[in-house]
A = this chain, B = another copy of it.
Amino acid sequence: MKNIIIASTSTVYNSDYLAYLLPTLEEHFKHTDTILFIPYARPSGISHDDYTAKAKEAFKKIGKDVKGIHEFEDPIQAVKEAKGIFTGGGNTFLLVKQLYRTETITAIQNAVNNGTPYLGCSAGSNICGLTMETTNDMPITYPPSFKTFGFVPFNINPHYLDPIEGSTHMGETRETRINEFHTLNTQPVVGLREGSWIEVKGDSFILKGTLTARIFEQGKEAVEIAPETELNYLK
């Protein structure tokens, strides 16, 4: 049974890395003392070691150890043996390129589909959708495909941001960008605000946190849905 947390962000304003999620993560990863960390998205170009140290520090607060996938000689074997997986945020293009290059994309997909608990934040959440085509990131490198895990039958837009009222900037708003996505693609998009996450248990997808999420379906007006709403109707 799939057991996944798809979080908009690792960090909410004025708070420590992962702090708002720790009570949830204690339950989520209760069957393991060690988490396999995927640092490939490298926010601000941070090294795999430094990024793993950051995750380690946060998980220590709930008594868990963290190992970076780059520490293993055989990353695919590391995924197969992991009892819990966490993919951190950063640049989605770089993350997806590395997942394909190391062929861990299929390994993680299989493991998580077979029940290994997974946590994604930001870029690590974006890849839980059908494609990475609703990322906010800059395309700083060219991945071999935009196809991602597809743990949910829709796309994720993490760090969802409402239009800024009274803005004089002529660049596209987030909503305009997602509407452009829907001129070429049919799958729904869940705009997840910072502090929200989707809890996946088997075929049940529930919005968690205190904020509403914004749901975009092709050919429909976008709607706000409340926390604890089941998202299973989206496909």
Residues of B within 8 A of A45 (CB): 179-180, 182-184
Interface residues of A in 1-28 (CB under 8 A from B): 9, 11-14
Residues of B within 8 A of A179 (CB): 44-45
State how many residues of chain A have any CB contact under 8 Å with chain B. 44
Q: Please tell me if the beta carbons of B44 and A170 are within 8 angstroms of each other in the complex.
A: no
Q: Which of B136, B183, B185 contacts A171 (CB 8 A)?
A: B136
Q: Please tell me if the beta carbons of A146 and B138 are within 8 angstroms of each other in the complex.
A: no
Q: Please tell me if the beta carbons of B139 and A133 are within 8 angstroms of each other in the complex.
A: yes
Q: Please tell me if the beta carbons of A146 and B137 are within 8 angstroms of each other in the complex.
A: no
In the assembled complex, A233 has its CB within 8 A of some CB on chain B: no
The contact string, 1 if C-beta is below 8 Å from chain B, for chain A 93-109, is: 11000000000000000
The contact string, 1 if C-beta is below 8 Å from chain B, for chain A 167-199, is: 011111000111111111100000000100000
In the assembled complex, A214 has its CB within 8 A of some CB on chain B: no
Q: Which residue of B lies closest to A12 (CB)?
A: B170
Residues of B within 8 A of A9 (CB): 170-171
In the assembled complex, A135 has its CB within 8 A of some CB on chain B: yes
Measured between C-beta atoms, what is the minimum distance from A20 to chain B in Å? 11
Q: Which of B12, B14, B91, B133 contacts A138 (CB 8 A)?
A: B133
In the assembled complex, A232 has its CB within 8 A of some CB on chain B: no
Q: Which residue of B lies closest to A142 (CB)?
A: B146
In the assembled complex, A114 has its CB within 8 A of some CB on chain B: no
In the assembled complex, A67 has its CB within 8 A of some CB on chain B: no
A-B contact pairs, 16 of them (CB 8 A): A9-B171, A13-B170, A43-B180, A45-B179, A45-B182, A45-B184, A91-B180, A94-B184, A133-B138, A135-B139, A136-B171, A138-B181, A141-B184, A159-B170, A161-B171, A171-B194
